[in-house]
Amino acid sequence: MKSFNFAVLGDASIADQLGKAGPKSDITFYEKKTSDSIFCFIAPSSFPDKVQPLIQTIALSEYVILNPTKIDKALGEQIVALDNMKIERGFIISSWLDEELRKFIRSTILEKYQFVALDELRQKIENLPEIRQNGQAKVLVDASFEVKGVGTGVLGVVRRGTIKQHDELEVSLKKKKARFGKVNTDAR
């Protein structure tokens, strides 16, 4: 099964139109499943009050959907974060801001993003290539926790390789062992 993670930035209310919302915290996940794909739309719910959810959202994503409604400090922070984190694949929802926005994204990674209408976006994401990396397993860990009788559990995104249920990986910074429970996808 193919898997795609999208950061939804700017006006994230469009995420409701793209997937079903999960629990809301600093980050909100929206999910859509088809017969052969899982689409996860991630919105930094507490941004711009806190910058950490913006960085975490971008780090968890392979693609970006930017839905700007105004040129402001928050949009500038999102552009700088995307450019610094080198997220090359993305879409910008077309609006009355297009021409002014093109000036702001000049000489940034966002110049590579496609300007699209919302209906066009739905069609484009259905036909995206899955991003896969083979090799030794690498997982970007979002959270870890102790599971009674099992050990340390983690939540995260497989960035490279394949992870199967009960695989044991070493956490590189803490040299801790973690065991994977139910896993629903391989790396992109």
Whether the per-residue pLDDT at 93 is higher than 90: the answer is yes
Query: Mean pLDDT across the stretch 55-70?
Result: 93
What's residue 131's pLDDT?
Answer: 73
Tell whether the model's pLDDT for residue 48 goes beyond 90.
yes
Q: How many CA atoms lie within 13 A of 160 on its CB side?
A: 6
Domain boundaries, the chain: 2-126, 138-179
- How much is the pTM? 0.77
CATH architecture of 2-126: 3-Layer(aba) Sandwich (3.40)
Asked if residue 79 has pLDDT above 70, the reply is: yes
HSE (CB half, 13 Å, CA atoms) of 162?
4
> Residues 123-169: pLDDT tens digits?
999 888 777 667 777 777 767 778 888 787 777 777 777 777 777 77
**Token pair of 103, please?**
């000036």
In DSSP terms, which residues pair with 6 in a beta bridge?
41, 63
Q: What is the DSSP string of 69-129?
A: SS-SHHHHHHHHHHHHTT---EEEE--TTHHHHHHHHTTSGGGGSEEE-HHHHHHHHHTPP
Q: Please report where in the chains the tokens 């930035």 appear, as a residue.
A: 9
Residue with tokens 């999960």: 22
Residue 153, CA distances (Å) to 40, 61, 181 in order: 21, 21, 8
